[in-house]
Amino acid sequence: MNSQIKDLLNPEILNSVTGMELIARVIVEGFMSGSNKSQSVGAGQEFSQYRSYEPGDDIRQLDWKIYARSERYYIKQADIETNITVKFMIDASGSMSYKENKISKLQYAKILTAALAYLARKQSDTFGLFTINDKDIRVVRPRFEQQQFIRFINELINVEAGGTWSPTKNLEHLFDHHGKEMIIFMTDLYEADKDLLNFISRLKTRRNEVIVFHIMGDQEIDLDFDGSFVFQDLETSASVRVDTAILRKQYTERMADWMSKSRLSMYEKQVNYQLIRLSDPFEKSLRDFLTVRKSFSR
Ranges of each domain in the chain? 3-36+81-296
Domain 3-36+81-296: give its CATH code. Answer: 3.40.50.410
Which of the two residues, 143 and 74, has the higher pLDDT score?
143
pLDDT tens digits, 1-18? 666 777 788 888 889 999
Least trusted range by pLDDT, from 51-55, 119-123, 256-260: 51-55
Which of the two residues, 139 and 38, has the higher pLDDT score?
139
pLDDT of 279 > 70? The answer is yes
pLDDT of 297 > 60? The answer is no
pLDDT of 72 > 80? The answer is no
> Do 130 and 138 meet the contact criterion of CB atoms below 8 Å apart?
yes
Q: In this prediction, what percent of the chain has a pLDDT beyond 70?
A: 84
Q: In this prediction, what percent of the chain has a pLDDT beyond 90?
A: 46
pLDDT tens digits, 54-64? 776 666 667 77
pLDDT of 124 > 90? The answer is no
Q: What's the pLDDT band for 218 if we cut at 50, 70, 90?
A: very high
Query: What confidence score (pLDDT) does residue 285 get?
Result: 92
- pTM value is 0.82
> Do 109 and 211 meet the contact criterion of CB atoms below 8 Å apart?
no
Q: What's the pLDDT band for 87 if we cut at 50, 70, 90?
A: very high
